[in-house]
Amino acid sequence: MTGSDSSNTETGTFSRQTSLLIEFTIVGVLLLLHFSLIFTASQRKSPVFDESVHIAGGLSYWLENDYRINPENGNFPQRWAAIPLMFQELKFPVLKQMPIRQTDEWTIAGDFIFKSGNNPEKILMFSRAMISILSLATGLVVYFSSRKIFGTGGGMLSLALYILCPEILAHAGFTTSDMAVAMAFTLALVCIWNVLNRITVRNIVFSSLALGLLFVSKFSAFIIIPVYLILILMRLRGKGHVECVIFSRRITNDTQAKQLLAYSAVLSVNLAFILFFIWMSYGFRFSMIDAPVPTDRMVLDKVIENSCKSAGTAGEALLAAKKIKLLPEAYIYGFALVLKGAGARNSYLNGELSTRGWWYFFIYSFMVKTPIPLLLIFAISLSALFKAKILPNDKLYMLTPFLVFILIYFLFAISSRMNIGNRHLLPIYPCIFIICGSAYLMLRSKLPMVILTAFLIAWFAVESYRIRPHYLAYFNQFAGGPGNGYKHLSDSSLDWGQDLKELRKWVDANNQKNENVYFSYFGTADISHYMQDYRQLPCIFEQKRDANSFFELKAGIYCISATMFQFTYYNPGLKKATGLNSADIDEKLFLDLSSEMKKIFTGKIKLPATGQNPATEAEQTANLFMTNPEAYNSLRKKYVTYDYLRFAKLCLYLRLNRKSPDAYAGYSILIYRLTDGEIEDALSK
């Protein structure tokens, strides 16, 4: 080699190293930005509905090897989120001393976070940061997958879209299993496609590890089975051979029979790893709790049996698996709970309520919760799939697993009756971003396409910036923006209990005249930790009320969570609180209760006292409880029924007479300023 050739080689190597350094620096900066956006936004949010049991569940798995808390939401994400909490001096209940019959996971979790002397903000900060790390890992998978197909530019575009997507930013900041399962699905797809195209020890191990991780992340992992089988079928029908390299031995499988045999062997290894991961996650122990006493054993068996039987044919299969101890008991129980919940679930869509759901729910939620520019970029990318000049067949082939997964996952979503949140579509978003990498090719196309693509990317970034930090409440222009989101969807698509901090901030800034504050909250966080001096309207999860909760509605500030406003869980809440069904209530019942309550509110009927001459209604109520508990309980039941009925009339009045709220707390809590006249009108109609 001449000196000139050596110099050129060294220059080329240096140039490549410099390019890689610049590339990975940009990737690092983008991921750092992503983490910063997640972290700073999540600091402004109170716990969402499911966070408390995810955190308490993870700690109980590590500290006590006990799996009774939240077994239906994936072992891995709960363990992962609890890792930093194990090194803190936290007060956690000893579950081993608690009979299974007395275990209320929601009360245990809520008390652990808010009533045990622990620091709720610190607990949330550390556990949420762990979920953010999973989002960073998913971003890397998106980047390298897109880069492999479309080059560095395509990878950068996919990553940029990923880190700014409101749906990703929302769930990457909450301690739930949604981000974990999105990461696991994406990683599994990449690893499965790699091993189907080239069978090596490395690819077999990676695919097995990814699948093992997926199956301990969430029970929706079973969707990967038809996806895997379809991908195998596509490989068998395709032309060409499948190379198999096991250590130093190289085998060329050039017939379908040989390929099928090779894939069967890979599947066997995958299955062994999946079972190993599942058993490892539960400490290689069958029983859900450690050393259960006979009474606990009988209760557990009965509860699991009832849950499985209510899940239909799949539940019977779970009972058979329990009988032969194929899977840990907690895994079987968690799966049964998921199947049971999927059979019927209260949901809301565009003014309608249902327990059976709508086949088009997730299509609709995807269309209104995804930024329009992203929808258009995705549409452009899909159109490129049919133009060989833009996207060669080899690149289309590399996109196969992501396209198949989106299709199959959507089919499962359409058939689901659990229409409670767009978050259940989160696993398809990374695949969409990878496919959107093909839009980078448009930036090297004709000038009009360059301008259009650049405009859409800029528009997408603006959409992300404008909704910050209320990412969960994002709705695009099809829905009229986030201010109209409550008219379209509820629950975890908008209102998951996350805006108590925002409400406290708004009340502090806008209630200078010390008006009465009334609040109906959807969530499991302790309201009193964030709010003082408020009067509680019906809530789900129903918060404990003090004796002074007997009150009349007056002029003031009315704060109502969107899910409560749309009556998503009104009927089950009414049933639990009063024993009544919606069919049992009518105007006459309300008028009778209203007449009785008004006599108490106006003092025409005095509550019995203990002779201490109580000066306040609260003291009167407390005295009644002490002197005559039976009379108090009867009055209490009437009041709670009245409270639910007047709340319903109030919400219906606001829907008909107010086009929009006076203000919002993070878009999930609707705020109205009402006069005495408006209250009177609402309750008289």
Q: What does the alpha-carbon distance between residue 53 and residue 403 come to, in Å, rounded to a whole number?
A: 34
Instruction: Inform me whether the pLDDT recorded for 505 exceeds 90.
Output: yes
The per-residue pLDDT for range 367-378, each reduced to its tens digit, is 999 999 999 999
Q: What does the pLDDT read at residue 546?
A: 57
The answer to whether residue 400 is domain-embedded is: yes
Q: 417 and 517: one domain?
A: no
Q: Are 466 and 612 found together in one domain?
A: no
Predicted TM-score of the model (pTM): 0.92
Q: Are residues 381 and 446 in the same domain?
A: yes
Instruction: Compare 256 and 648 and report the one with higher pLDDT.
Output: 648
pLDDT in tens, 190-233: 999 999 999 999 999 999 999 999 999 999 999 999 999 999 99
Tally of structural domains, the chain: 3
pLDDT(74) > 90: yes
Mean pLDDT of the region 503-512: 95
**Same domain for 523 and 416?**
no
Is position 371 within any domain? yes
pLDDT digit string, tens, across residues 670-679: 999 999 999 9
Say yes or no to pLDDT of 621 above 60. no
Q: How many CA atoms lie within 13 A of 517 on its CB side?
A: 20
Q: In the prediction, which pLDDT does 620 show?
A: 54
Q: Write the pLDDT tens digit of every residue in 281-294.
A: 999 999 999 888 88
Residues of the domain holding 305? 294-344
pLDDT(619) > 70: no
Distances (CA, A) of 29 to 22, 159, 248, 433, 471: 11, 11, 41, 18, 21
Percent of the chain whose predicted confidence (pLDDT) is above 90 = 71
Annotate 458-471 with three-state secondary structure: HHHHHHHHHHCCCH
Of residues 636 and 227, which shows the higher confidence score?
227
Q: What is the pLDDT of residue 588?
A: 92
Average pLDDT score over residue span 484-511: 97
Q: Which residue has the higher pLDDT, 3 or 238?
A: 238
Q: Please report whether residue 386 resides in a domain.
A: yes
Q: Is there a single domain that holds both residue 417 and residue 505?
A: no
393 vs 636, residue with greater confidence: 636
- Measured in residues, the chain has a length of 685
- 320 with 455, same domain: the answer is no
Distance CA 603, CA 620 (A): 11
| Residues 620 and 675 reside in one and the same domain | yes
Contact 614, 624 (CB under 8 A): no
Question: Could you give the strand order of the β-sheet that contains 249-253, starting from the edge strand earlier in sequence?
Answer: 198-200, 242-246, 249-253
pLDDT for 614 beyond 50: no
Q: Indicate the angle between helix axes 400-415 and 428-435, nearest 10 degrees.
A: 140
Q: Are residues 536 and 411 in the same domain?
A: no
Same domain assignment for residues 374 and 431:
yes
The per-residue pLDDT for 602 is: 77
Position 594 in a domain: yes
Residues 206 and 211: their CA atoms lie apart, in Å, by 9
- Tell me the pLDDT tens digit for each residue of 33-49: 999 999 999 999 999 99
Is the same domain home to 339 and 433?
no
Give a yes or no: residue 607 inside a domain. yes
Q: Is residue 627 part of a domain?
A: yes
Classify residue 221: in a domain, yes or no. Answer: no
Q: Provide the sign of the torsion angle of the four alpha carbons 664, 670, 671, 675, taken in this order.
A: positive
340 and 310 in a common domain: yes
- Specify the pairing of strand 556-561 against strand 669-674: antiparallel
Q: Look up residue 271 and give its two tokens.
A: 């299955």
Q: Is the residue at 106 inside a domain? A: no
Between 345 and 173, the higher pLDDT residue: 173
358 and 339 fall within a common domain: no
